[in-house]
Amino acid sequence: MTDANPMRKITIEKVTANIGTGQPGEILDNAKLLLERLSEGKPVITAARNRVPTFKLRKGLEIGTSVVLRGKKATNFLEKAFAAKRKVINAKNFDREGNFAFGVAEYIDFPGAKYDPAMEMYGFDVCVTLKRPGKRVTKRRNKKAKIGKKHKITKEEAMEFVKSEFGVKIE
């Protein structure tokens, strides 16, 4: 029934991978290099938004790096990330809008990644945003509009999409 209407087809809008180091310097540079190797994308530096004296963080301090992937690169990266998780993720990782996120504990679990003794052992987070055709109307600048309740992606639909597209088991 959902395959009959092309407007109901769920696709991946973007995949965001990020590493939070908590401090600038060589550690952050290594994390940026690692993300570049794993994703084949161009990572950007992320800065602290708030001041947290307990963790010695101040607003604007560079503390992490992230990369946003779209299209074929996103799909390839996501397949490898699922392989690193042994194709098992938790149902709690999905939100109400159908997006999901999970973490990879160590980068050496990622297929094709080799251990580098000069680099620390990093883990990273993978956040996936799903969409249906027509989502652009909520984001565009001119004549912005809402999309209907039936057109939004639910948690169950997102879980079914991940199961069928990537063969992932959801616990």
pLDDT average, residue stretch 140-160: 91
pLDDT, tens only, 82-138? 999 899 999 999 999 889 999 988 888 888 888 878 788 888 999 999 999 988 888
Q: Which residue has the higher pLDDT, 3 or 95?
A: 95
pLDDT, tens only, 47-69? 888 888 888 888 888 889 999 99
Cα distances from 56 to residues 5, 49, 61, 65, in angstroms, run 53, 13, 10, 18
Average pLDDT, rounded, for the chain: 89
Alpha carbon of residue 112 to chain centroid: 19
This prediction has a pTM of 0.86
Cβ 104 vs Cβ 85: under 8 Å = yes
